[in-house]
Structure 1
Amino acid sequence: MNLNAITGRRRPKTLALGLVEALGDRIREGRLNAGDKLPTEAAIMAEFEVSRTVVREAISKLQAAGLVETRHGIGTFVLGLGEGAAFRIAPDQMGTLTDVVAVLELRIGVETEAAALAAQRRSGDQLAAMQEALAAFAAAAQAGRDAVAADFQFHLEIARATGNPHFEQLMGTLGAPSIPRARLPGLDSVAPAERLAYLTRVNAEHEHILDAISAQDPEAARAAMRTHLANSRERRRRAALAAAGGE
């Protein structure tokens, strides 16, 4: 049976991702339970009308997502949706404007509260670490670099200052690729003066967040973070349009 008909969805980016969706749905819906053995490669090839290469790529992606494990010489078995299904955003889930905006929406939901908690709980050392990250951002911008590493470090330091390790772990999982300009073209093509002006605006928003955290004002920190990430989302959209010749 054709893979698109089985998934009942728009055409996937690749056949392998379509197969991941189809098998993943069977696991989530309970048609394949923890401990069940997946059909053989040959059986999957026949059912979904795909090549052996596609099957192996899909199985590899399911393994990376923690949904299955392969026991050499025995077969591939379902782990289910328990401890093995750790949260992860794979690189191929950050390749388009829609993907980047989706991650920014997640960050808005998480980091606005992280900023408020950091304002309430941060230590002097943690505040100094945020200040160091912003100084590194400014230095990178002045040197003509994209400042992605320092940008991410600032957000990571805020997550640490919440005193809740889950915020730090989630930010660590997202990593520097969650910074929008790390994933899509746009900023690299602008003149150095325009790039510096862009990064200066970004860092001014960072400074508003830092000021609120320094003043231990959770509501102001929450608002400043929401404004910053919402602006990042709009900047990314405009940059992508400009790179595509839409502006």
Structure 2
Amino acid sequence: MAKAASLADELYGKLKADIMSGAILPGSKLPSQKDIADSEDVSRTVVREAVARLEAQGYAVSRQGSGVYVSEGARYRAFQVTREELTELSDIIKLLEMRLAIETEMAGLAAARRDQDDVVAMRLALKRMRDASDDSAASALADTQFHMAVARATKNDYFVRFIDFLGVRLVPPRSLYLRDQPELAHADYACKVHGEHEAVLSAIVRMDIAGAREAARQHMMESLMRHSELSDAIGTADAAG
């Protein structure tokens, strides 16, 4: 069973790579399960599982009585960030590196284009974050709401859609960073993160574009540095053990 699952994983990866590279074009019909099984020297069970995964991920669509076809928008489904991927520090660090550039420019645009409703929404999110400092889940939700308010202030729907797509993945889980640290460490962490957000809001309120960019960049750099240092510490401890 494990071998079949491994073969299905390999076949799924190969078919997906062919779709993403354009070797199998959008809208084109996939070979029959028998043909794939013969060409790849695997069982039809393996093929069925691999093709089912392609369909589940949106890369292919089954048409009754006709066969399985590559989705027209398959190549635009490549970017995904699932919650399951963000259980390790290394994955969180990768996401923070990407957000560093995005959040910096997003804050600058928000400072240039924000209106009073945007400011009210940001302030409300920060109040919720401060009030929930001892509740990591509620604090993370308020943190996400703050970034969504900044995204809306850009008046660029693509920023809004991107931040909405990340959702709770936007905020690295405090429990992963602090692990077995005492409650005082959690309180200090919440206070520091809140202060970083306050700096972003202050610049946006003043419509200080350069200041907003710098505050957002500093916030992301601090988060990236915190998690990178923890990753290094864990790696050192594991090596010593």
Shared fold (TM-score, shorter chain, > 0.5): yes
Distance in structure 2 (CA, Å) of the matches to 1:94 and 1:57 = 25
Distance in structure 2 (CA, Å) of the matches to 1:45 and 1:98 = 36
SS at match of 2:237: coil
Question: 1:114 Cα shift?
Answer: 0.7
Maintained 8 Å contact 1:185/1:243: no
Aligned pair in 2 of structure 1 residues 197, 162: CA closer, same or farther (>3 Å)?
same
Q: 1:225 aligns with which of 216, 233, 237?
A: 216
Aligned pair in 2 of structure 1 residues 127, 33: CA closer, same or farther (>3 Å)?
same
- Letter matched to residue 218 of structure 1: I
More displaced stretch, 65-74 vs 83-92: 83-92
Question: 1:43 Cα shift?
Answer: 4.5
Aligned pair in 2 of structure 1 residues 223, 45: CA closer, same or farther (>3 Å)?
farther
Matched, 1:237 2:228: yes
Question: 1:21 Cα shift?
Answer: 3.0
SS at match of 1:175: helix
Residues 4-25 of structure 1, C-alpha deviations (whole Å, 9 max, x = no match): xxxxxxxxxx665543432122
Which residue in the other structure is 2:3 paired with? none
Distance in structure 1 (CA, Å) of the matches to 2:82 and 2:50 = 13
Residues 192-214 of structure 1, C-alpha deviations (whole Å, 9 max, x = no match): 11111112111111111111111
Give the paired residue count: 233
Matched, 1:31 2:44: no
Question: 1:53 Cα shift?
Answer: 6.5
Matched, 1:88 2:93: no
SS at match of 1:69: strand
Maintained 8 Å contact 2:106/2:154: yes
Which residue in the other structure is 1:62 paired with? 54
Percent identical among aligned pairs is 35
SS at match of 2:184: helix
Question: 1:245 Cα shift?
Answer: 7.0
Distance in structure 2 (CA, Å) of the matches to 1:128 and 1:106 = 28
Question: 1:90 Cα shift?
Answer: 3.0
- Letter matched to residue 194 of structure 1: A
- Letter matched to residue 134 of structure 1: L
Maintained 8 Å contact 2:112/2:209: yes
Matched, 1:105 2:97: yes
Aligned pair in 2 of structure 1 residues 63, 82: CA closer, same or farther (>3 Å)?
closer
More displaced stretch, 94-103 vs 162-171: 94-103
Distance in structure 1 (CA, Å) of the matches to 2:7 and 2:140 = 33
More displaced stretch, 43-52 vs 118-127: 43-52
- Letter matched to residue 104 of structure 1: L
Q: 1:173 aligns with which of 165, 170, 177?
A: 165
What are the ranges of 5 or more consecutive residues in structure 1 without an aligned counterpart?
Answer: 1-13
Question: 1:79 Cα shift?
Answer: 1.9
What's the RMSD between the two structures over aligned residues? 3.0
Question: 1:144 Cα shift?
Answer: 4.0
SS at match of 1:180: coil
Which residue in the other structure is 1:130 paired with? 122
Maintained 8 Å contact 1:100/1:178: no
Aligned pair in 2 of structure 1 residues 156, 61: CA closer, same or farther (>3 Å)?
farther
What are the ranges of 5 or more consecutive residues in structure 2 without an aligned counterpart?
Answer: 1-5
Distance in structure 2 (CA, Å) of the matches to 1:235 and 1:15 = 39
TM-score norm. by structure 2 comes to 0.82
Distance in structure 1 (CA, Å) of the matches to 2:45 and 2:153 = 46
More displaced stretch, 184-193 vs 85-94: 85-94
Which residue in the other structure is 1:78 paired with? 70
Aligned pair in 2 of structure 1 residues 237, 47: CA closer, same or farther (>3 Å)?
farther
SS at match of 1:197: helix
Which residue in the other structure is 1:21 paired with? 13
* Structure with greater helix percent: 2
